[in-house]
Each structure stands twice: as structure tokens, then as C-alpha cells.
Amino acid sequence: MSENKEIRGLVNKAKKYQVEAFEKLYTRYFRQVYSYVYFRVGVVPDAEDLTAQTFLRALEAIETYNEKKASFISWLLSIAHNLTIDYYREKKRKPQVFLEEVGLVEEGRGDPEEALINNHYQDLIWKKVGELTEEQQQVIFLKFGLNFSNKEIARALSKTEGSIKALLFRALRMLKKKVEKDERSED
């Protein structure tokens, strides 16, 4: 996937150690990287640290970045993914996800009763996402949290687009079953 001209230009300048160029890349992609990391770890200070480490590693390895292999954001997210794996190896615990802080769950608008129902379903769905496998959670977050295309997800996770489609299909099917089971138990 070819990056747009502006990003390619910034990356090329960053490779020549032009600090302002890397600062612009940081500013442009910080929220996406932070959202991804926070979704995985669920702890603000840890997410901040891992996001900072992601950009530090990116700066240290900027010369190795190859736009023909992955988009710049995919490359950053792969660095963040690897740091998150290391984080869990050290911590050996499951993430807690509070999506409201990341900005993925919007406040209801209009009818307060409708907003309450919508928030309930959003909370239920994201709670059930937390019960999926780590890989399924990751694909759902990239698809619906960051609006990545299947192709971008495939590049970010070093998988084929077909395997991403299959993984997403299975994850959504499993999510549907979990939500339906939860709704039946409430009756």
C-alpha cells in the first residue's frame, strides 16, 4: 500500500533525523497508537508508557521502515503490538477495557431512554468483546475502533487478507452468540 505523499515526505525527512518531521508523524498518529495500546492494556499510565515506547522504538528503527511492506500506521501498530505482548509476558494478566476513555463509545443523543438502551447495548457488546480471544479482540478493535480496512489489518498483523476476513467472521459470530446468550439469561 502506498502512503500518501505527505506521509512519505515526513518519513523520508525523519530518516534523515529531521526532528520536526518525526514530531509531525507523532502528532498525526499518537491517538491511534494510544487507543490501540489502551484497548489492549486498559490502564492509563501503562498505555501512556507503551505508547511512548512505541514512538521511541519507531524513532530508533525509522531507517528500517519500508513503505512497500506496510503503511506507516501499520508499522507503528506492529511495534505497539509487540510491546503489548512483552507487557503481558511481564504482567501475566488480562486487560481491562474502558472504551469510554478511548472515545469509542459515544454519548447518546436525542431521547434519553433510547440513549440509555443504546449505551446498555454498547457496554454489553464491548464487555463481550473482552471475552473473545486476544486475536479476535485485536481484529475487532482495528476494524471498528480504528476503522481499518481488512487489507490494513492484514498488514498490521502480518496475515493474509483472507485470514483476516475469516478471523473477523468467526469473531463476529462468536460475539453474536455471547450477546444473545447474555440477553437470554437476563429474561
Query: What would the pLDDT profile of 128-149 be if each residue is shown by its tens digit?
Result: 777 888 888 888 888 887 788 8
Q: Cell numbers of 137, please?
A: 479482540
Amino acid 165 reads K
The reported pLDDT for the residue numbered 24 is: 93
Q: Which amino acid does the sequence have at 23?
A: E
Size of the chain, expressed as the number of residues it contains: 187
The pLDDT score that the predictor gives to residue 120 is: 58
| CATH fold for domain 1-96 | Rna Polymerase Sigma Factor; Chain: A (1.10.1740)
Domain spanning 108-187 has what CATH number?
Answer: 1.10.10.10
Whole-model pTM over 0.75: no
**Which candidate, 21, 32, 15, 5, places its Cα nearest to that of 152?**
32
95: pLDDT strictly greater than 60:
no
Q: Report the pLDDT value the prediction gives residue 70, as an integer from 0 to 100.
A: 81
pLDDT at 94 over 70: no
Burial of 177 (0-12, 13-18, 19+ CB in 10 A): exposed
pLDDT tens for 11-31 read: 999 999 888 999 999 999 999
Sequence-separated (6 or more) residues with CB below 8 Å from residue 48: 34
Boundaries of every domain in the chain: 1-96, 108-187
Contact 49, 130 (CB under 8 A): no
In the prediction, which pLDDT does 25 show?
94
pLDDT at residue 2 tops 50 = no
